[in-house]
Every structure is written in C-alpha cells, then in structure tokens.
Structure 1
Amino acid sequence: MILLSMFIRRLIRVGRLTIIDHNGKRHEFPGEHEGPSAVIRLHDAKVAGEIARNPRLKVGEAYMDGRLTIPEGTLYDFLEVAVRNLAWHNRTRSRLALKLQKLLTAAQHYNPIGKAQKNVAHHYDLSDELFSLFLDEDRQYSCAYYHDPSDDLESAQEQKKRHIAAKLLLEPGQKVLDIGCGWGGLALYIARETGADVTGLTLSREQHGVATRRAAEAGLADRVRFKLLDYRQEPGVYDRIVSVGMFEHVGNLHYGEFFAKLDRLLKPDGIALLHTIGSADVPGPVASWIRKYIFPGGYLPSLSEIAPHLERLGLWMTDFESLRFHYAETLKAWNERFQRHRDHIRDDLYDERFCRMWEFYLQSCEANFRESFLTVFQIQIAKSIGAVPMTRDYMLDWERAHAPDNRAPKQGPMMAAGE
C-alpha cells in the first residue's frame, strides 16, 4: 500500500479518492482543486502493488477479477476521478516525456493483413446476441450524432447515418465503397436513400453473414453486396468511399498504406469520408488494458498523424468536424442498455468477469470522451479541389431533405453533455 499511496498522492490534483485497503483501513487522497470524489476497496495485499507498478493495465484487471470493488458510489464515479486527474497530468507533461511517448507508440502497432483479421475477430465475432442487447436496432457500433442529449439512441444513430451521407454528395448509380461496413446498416441506408450501388468490406465473419442476409431481406442484394476482405486487397475503383469506426484498427505504422490505397480506389472526381475516434492530444498509445482485452491492435490517431499523409498524396481535406461529447452520450446509452440485460448476459451468455470487463470498457471510454482528449473526427477527403461546393450549405440542405419530418436538424445544447 505504501507504493500505491505514493503514486496516488502524485496523481490526485482534482477531487478526492478514498481507498479502503484489504485490512479495512481508509486512506484519503484529497486533491488541491474541487472535483468529483470516489471510494474504492482493495481486497488483497498484492493488488495495491500491482496497480502502482502498472495502473493502465492492472486497475481494469483488478476490477474484472473482483479484487477492486466500489463500496460507495458507482464505478463511473471512480473512473471520472481517475480520468480527470490523468488528463490534468497530461497537460503538464514535459517535452522529453512527449518525445519518449511518441517513440514508444511507433513500435506498437504493426498490423499486417493476417494479424488484422485476428484482431477484428477477437472483438466483433463475440456472441451475436450480445451486440443486439446493447446496440440500436440497426446495429451501429460507432459514435452516434446527437442533436440534443435527450435524443434516444435510435434517433441519434439515424442522424449519424444522415450526417455522413450528406457529406458524400451522393447521386443515383454512383459506386460507393464502405470500408469496415459492420453489420451493413450504413451501406443499406445509402442504397435506400440515394440509389447508389454499395460494396461493403469487413474482416468479421459474423458481421459478413448478418450484413449479407440483411441486404437480401431488404430486397437490395442487386445494389448492395458485402465482401469478407481486407481493404488492401480490394481491386475496384469508386466514386465515393466511406469508412466509419475502422481507421482505429489500422495502426499508425500503416497510415501511409491506408491513404495510398484510398487514393488508388477513388476516381479523379471522387470524395471520401473518414469517421474515426481521434485524439486532440499529441500522439500516444492506447491504454494497455483496452489493447489486451477489448481492441487488440487498436490505435487512436491525432490529426497531426493524418494530415501529412494527405499532403504527400496531394489529397484535399475539404471538410473537418470534431464531434465532441457525441461518443460520450453514445457510450452512456450503450452502458444503460447493457445494464438492463446484465443478468441475462452473465447467466446465459458469458459470466460475471465478462460483465465486469464490459462495463469497465464502456464506462471508462465514456469518462475519457467527457474528461480527457478523445473526440471523433469526420474528415472529408477529395482528389480534386473542385469536387465539393465552396460552402457547407449542401450538407444541411441534404439532411433537411432526408429528415423524417423534413425539417432542419435542431441545434441543441451539446456543450451541456460534458459539464
């Protein structure tokens, strides 16, 4: 406990953390600034030292194994304290620390074709029923788009698809490639709403099977097809390319390869839309717990890592949007649905350890999107300077025309979601 106490005293600058050790003794760690408070309990003598030596991995493992519990308050209370204080320290890092972190990051994310498929299977080939229990009806497993925090998940995910389609300037008959198509919801939406011909790529056998079946059931199999294929092996040429929630799995060592392939796949007057989790901080590694248990090979880009590749290829970044707080609201909705079905997931699909792992994943990610440097980038990319209009009015016009009530999206107080 001595080593952990030294670490926590240096860490806590905002709010308060109370630790109850395995003997029942309370240790108080007040910060210098007002903020959230939390209480955790450690259940054996070894766990304190393990956490002190490797907190980014061992906190999550201790919670999964029941060696760290929350006797007062909630798991999110603890994660909010932890993330807010880590973010505070990140803002005060030295230049040397930043350089060392960048060097470490560069060596961690080699992701060739065979390894990429194994990494995807680790997460996306879990029980089909699990995803149906916490996602929306269309199975959108990426950041939704909230006009207002009061939007329900189904509405927010429909708004996300509409927001993305508006940026693609789609016309009937155009050929569209969806890299990382998931369960096919966006591809089917684009085909229905615009009359385009869509090809979706995935590395998940589970997703490929579901997406193919959905296209047939929707009567769209003649205009929407799905391939179990790595994007690097796709031979076609397309008018439009969209990629949602896939770029996080590419790995920073492969960014040049990704954008070079996108350049080859896109027609001279083509437009692409990249939707990815990103970091507003300098480049850095994904937390080791997330890499080990949730997304092997995952890496979250900074804008400074993306832009140089576009510049070298002569590609235009014709529009950029940072979706702040939207993923926090999405993760909150997913966790609420997961908790409603938690007993069933524990008893019939997996076990208690899996449930603790999954809720730690969902809630720690929510805390990071609210309190740290995570956001979602939407980057519109074109090969030609004249591929898109001079102003952004066309986006709102398209969204207005395709909204269910045919009205302009309302502008709600999204800032309040992060307060």
Structure 2
Amino acid sequence: MWKDIFDRMLMRLIQTGQLHVTFPDGRAKTYGTQAEPAASVRVTEDAALRALCLNPELALGECYMNNTLQIAGDDIEGLLRVLLRNRRHDDLPIWARAYAALRYGAQSWLRRNTPGLARRNVAHHYDLSDELYRLFLDEDMQYSCAYFPDPAMSLDQAQVEKKAHIAAKLRIEPGMRVLDIGCGWGGMALTLARDYGAHVTGVTLSENQLATARRRAAEAGMSARTEFRLQDYRDLHESFDRVVSVGMLEHVGVAFFGDYFAQVANLLDRDGVALIHTIGSLAPPGAQAEWINKYIFPGGYIPTLSQLTPALERSGLWALDIEVLRLHYALTLRHWLTRFDANLDTVRQSYDERFIRMWRYYLVACYMTFEEDHQAVFQFQLGHRRDAAPLTRDYLYAGRSAGDFHEAAE
C-alpha cells in the first residue's frame, strides 16, 4: 500500500531532474526524465516508506538520520536540489497538505516563546559544547550569516566584514551605550567595545554562551567596557544609544513580533539607531520546517516581510533602511559544512553517527533553502527619527575596508 502511494506521489512530483529510488523489496524505479539535477536513494524499511508518505518533510530528515533512507554518495545536496526544484504543494498527498495547513494555523500557539519556553529552547541548541562549534565556526565564533563583498574570501574575513558592515550602519561613536540582544559568545559585543570604543551590554538566555562571553571579555581586557547578563530582553528597562540584534529574531515567534519591536523602541534612545539582522523569507507565510524545529531550533520561526512590517509599523520606529542579503548565508553555511567535515574524526570522539548525519543534514538543508528556496537575510536599520542615519548608503562604503580597519585596530 505505502509503496504504491509513494510511487504515485513521486510520479506526480518529479518533473524536473531525476530521482532513482530502490525500494525495500529490492525493486527500483527512476522518476523524471531530465538528466540534471539527479539523485539516487535506497529506502530500507517499509516503515520509512509509510513515514515519507504521511509526513514527507519531517520523515525525510528522520529517515536519513536513522539510515533507513540511504543517499548514494551521501549526496544530501543532490537529493534536496531535486526535491526543492520540484516542490509543489498540490502534488503531496491530501493528508500531508492538511497537516501542513493545520501546523500553519496553530504555529502562533505552538511556538509561543514565553520567557520560560524561550530559555529551554535556547538551551537545546546553544548549550551544546563550545568545542563542537569551534570545529566549524570562525575564530570569533560568529554563528550567523557572514558578509561576502568577495565570494572568494575566507570565512574569517567575511565575518569581520559582517561585523564592520553592521557597525557602520549603527554609526557607533566612542562612549556610546550599546545593547546586544542575543549576544551569543560575545563576539559582536567585544568587537564594538574593542574596535569602536562602545560600552556594550549583552543579554542571552544561554548559560553556556554567557560563561564563554564573560571569559572572553576578561581575557581580552574588555570586562570594564562589556557586561554580559543571563536576561530576557523583555525584562530590560534601560535606555541605550544603539541596539543591535544578530540572529535572534528567528527565535521570537509570530505571537511576539509586536512585543519585540515595541521593546526595541522602548530601549532605544530618541536619537538612537538599531540594527536587526535576521533570516527571513520572501515567500508568503507558511508552516515552518518541522524537522528543523524538532531537532535543531525548537520554537524557531523564519519571519516573512509581510509578518514583520505590521509589527514594525505599530512600534512607531522609522525603517531607515532595509537591506536583503541573498546568497551570503549559503556561502557561510558551505564554509561551516566544509570545516565540520574536515573535523569528523574529532566530532566522533564525542558524538555518534546519528548525530553527525543530523548535523550534516541541518547544514546542507539550510544552505539549500538559500540557494533553491525563498530565504534570505534581512537587515533592518531602525530609529525614532527619520534623519537618524544618512540619506544614502554611500557612508557604508567610503574610506577603508572592514579588513583594513580590523588590522589597524589590532
């Protein structure tokens, strides 16, 4: 039964490229007629076929993790490229479409990131060992999209460029009070304190990241100009000249977008500038990737512009600039995967093969959404005053490059 349903589903779905499938009984079939893109898989159990029919998106990742879906050459990218280029909602079974609609309708309730839930969700991902992240991140441990003025530059260079691009948009001057919402391991805060003379307060919900950020500040002699707190941004009642938030809005959830921008407005001085950097979607709102939410980022939600702009409008803040970074995150994730793969022997000392398959699937699936789907990165430059930033972007590119500035600061 499930083999027949799976067969009919793929016959309708695969129109671009080619997918070769070997079934649990050993029989094989090729779907699609075009040579490229192409992938070949083997489904080893009938239970995997059933799962792929009932909930394709979740089961695809789970079956790969459990090795009941084996990809020839371990070519996750090739398989996902075929599937994404053929993704048409109407070609999925009616129960899969109904389930996706139900999840979309319930997501505001399912992903209510209240302070207690938000802390548990953050701990699920960010309180993994620092040693794992050091294996694939840059030297500064920037776990967010880098900025590639030159696609050929190194990951470390591109992360320096990202921080400099954000700092330029913030128009930071020495002595300014800066709030970093979701400060991670402290890299952005330390950069703004060291290279720009700011006094930075960083807040995080990760105890592990908090300890690392404080240690790094002490080692860099920046403890007097930085303060790191284990605190929810909603509990802050201070005023700051600048507010920066990189890669945190994805953890807020639809139900709290209004609260988020209202709080940014409350915390930002009347003459201040805020820079919000987030993954976003240029497609209409839809159900979030269930596999990512279950295994990687519980409570996560990738916002669309149509969901963010009403909340931003209600905050009373001016959108001084909105920049869309398109393939920068795909380049970043490819660097992360290359580094992760280069350190597999080290990873295996602490994690099993199922975890490795999960992590590789996560990295590849993410860069494929930037290359084949509608994901990008948004940078919102915000302020209370319409003239809080220059009228054109010329100021961002004048003078020395970010790399030159970083070398001079050293």
Same fold per TM (> 0.5)?
yes
The DSSP-based 3-state class of the residue aligned with 2:332 is: helix
Aligned AA (2:75)? T
Cα RMSD, aligned residues only: 2.2
Structure 1 residue 124, shift from structure 2 partner: 0.4
Q: 1-side partners of 2:118 and 2:143: how far apart? A: 18
Q: 1-side partners of 2:403 and 2:74: how far apart? A: 41
Report what 1:177 is aligned to.
179
Q: 2-side partners of 1:319 and 1:75: how far apart? A: 37
Does the CA contact (< 8 Å) of 1:40 and 1:72 recur in 2?
Answer: no
Does the CA contact (< 8 Å) of 1:238 and 1:267 recur in 2?
Answer: yes
- TM-score, normalized by length of structure 1? 0.91
* Deviations 1:235-291 (CA, angstroms, capped at 9, x unpaired): 211010000000000001001111111111011111100100000001122211100
* Deviations 1:75-124 (CA, angstroms, capped at 9, x unpaired): 211111112222x5599xxxx99987753443432110000000000000
Q: 1-side partners of 2:35 and 2:49: how far apart? A: 26
Q: 2-side partners of 1:59 and 1:155: how far apart? A: 35
Q: 1-side partners of 2:73 and 2:190: how far apart? A: 46
Q: After alignment, is 146-155 or 161-170 more displaced? A: 146-155
Does the CA contact (< 8 Å) of 1:164 and 1:273 recur in 2?
Answer: yes
Structure-2 change in CA distance of 1:90 and 1:105 (3 Å): farther
Q: After alignment, is 231-240 or 106-115 more displaced? A: 106-115
1:249 to 251, 265, 269: 251
Matched, 1:162 2:139: no
Structure 1 residue 365, shift from structure 2 partner: 0.7
The DSSP-based 3-state class of the residue aligned with 2:340 is: helix
Report what 2:276 is aligned to.
274
Q: 1-side partners of 2:132 and 2:11: how far apart? A: 39
Does the CA contact (< 8 Å) of 2:280 and 2:303 recur in 1?
Answer: yes
Q: 2-side partners of 1:10 and 1:325: how far apart? A: 30
Report what 1:370 is aligned to.
371
Aligned AA (2:214)? T
Does the CA contact (< 8 Å) of 1:39 and 1:73 recur in 2?
Answer: no
Structure 1 residue 389, shift from structure 2 partner: 1.3
Structure-2 change in CA distance of 1:90 and 1:256 (3 Å): farther
Report what 1:414 is aligned to.
none
Aligned AA (1:386)? D
Report what 1:417 is aligned to.
none
**Structure 1 spans left out of the alignment, 5+ residues:** 408-419
Q: 2-side partners of 1:218 and 1:59: how far apart? A: 44
Q: After alignment, is 155-164 or 307-316 more displaced? A: 307-316
Q: 1-side partners of 2:270 and 2:59: how far apart? A: 49
Structure 1 residue 403, shift from structure 2 partner: 3.3
Does the CA contact (< 8 Å) of 1:127 and 1:349 recur in 2?
Answer: no
* Deviations 1:154-213 (CA, angstroms, capped at 9, x unpaired): 111111111111100111111000000110001111111211110001111110001001
Report what 2:321 is aligned to.
319
Q: 2-side partners of 1:147 and 1:67: how far apart? A: 41
Report what 1:354 is aligned to.
355
Does the CA contact (< 8 Å) of 1:251 and 1:299 recur in 2?
Answer: yes
**Structure 2 spans left out of the alignment, 5+ residues:** 92-96
The DSSP-based 3-state class of the residue aligned with 1:276 is: strand
Q: After alignment, is 322-331 or 64-73 more displaced? A: 64-73
Q: 2-side partners of 1:207 and 1:309: how far apart? A: 29
Structure 1 residue 3, shift from structure 2 partner: 1.3
Matches of residues 144-223 of structure 1 in structure 2 within 5 Å?
144-223=146-225
Does the CA contact (< 8 Å) of 2:258 and 2:315 recur in 1?
Answer: no
The DSSP-based 3-state class of the residue aligned with 1:403 is: helix
The DSSP-based 3-state class of the residue aligned with 2:37 is: strand
Report what 1:37 is aligned to.
38
Report what 2:16 is aligned to.
14
Structure 1 residue 134, shift from structure 2 partner: 0.7
Structure-2 change in CA distance of 1:294 and 1:203 (3 Å): same
* Deviations 1:289-341 (CA, angstroms, capped at 9, x unpaired): 10000000000000111111121222111101111111111111101111111
Report what 2:94 is aligned to.
none
Report what 2:404 is aligned to.
404
Report what 2:384 is aligned to.
383
Structure-2 change in CA distance of 1:90 and 1:386 (3 Å): farther
Does the CA contact (< 8 Å) of 1:123 and 1:295 recur in 2?
Answer: yes
Does the CA contact (< 8 Å) of 1:38 and 1:73 recur in 2?
Answer: no
Structure-2 change in CA distance of 1:305 and 1:71 (3 Å): same
Report what 1:343 is aligned to.
345
Structure 1 residue 72, shift from structure 2 partner: 4.3
The DSSP-based 3-state class of the residue aligned with 2:135 is: helix
Q: After alignment, is 315-324 or 387-396 more displaced? A: 387-396
Structure-2 change in CA distance of 1:7 and 1:405 (3 Å): same
Does the CA contact (< 8 Å) of 1:285 and 1:299 recur in 2?
Answer: no
Q: 2-side partners of 1:405 and 1:173: how far apart? A: 19
Structure-2 change in CA distance of 1:406 and 1:215 (3 Å): closer
Matches of residues 59-208 of structure 1 in structure 2 within 5 Å?
59-72=60-73, 74-86=75-87, 89=89, 103-208=105-210
Q: 2-side partners of 1:239 and 1:144: how far apart? A: 25
The DSSP-based 3-state class of the residue aligned with 1:79 is: helix
Structure-2 change in CA distance of 1:114 and 1:153 (3 Å): same
Aligned AA (1:230)? D
- TM-score, normalized by length of structure 2? 0.93
Runs of 4+ in 1 over 6 A off after TM superposition: 96-101
The DSSP-based 3-state class of the residue aligned with 1:220 is: coil
Q: 2-side partners of 1:231 and 1:162: how far apart? A: 24
Q: 1-side partners of 2:279 and 2:323: how far apart? A: 12
The DSSP-based 3-state class of the residue aligned with 1:46 is: helix
Does the CA contact (< 8 Å) of 2:160 and 2:403 recur in 1?
Answer: no
The DSSP-based 3-state class of the residue aligned with 1:283 is: coil
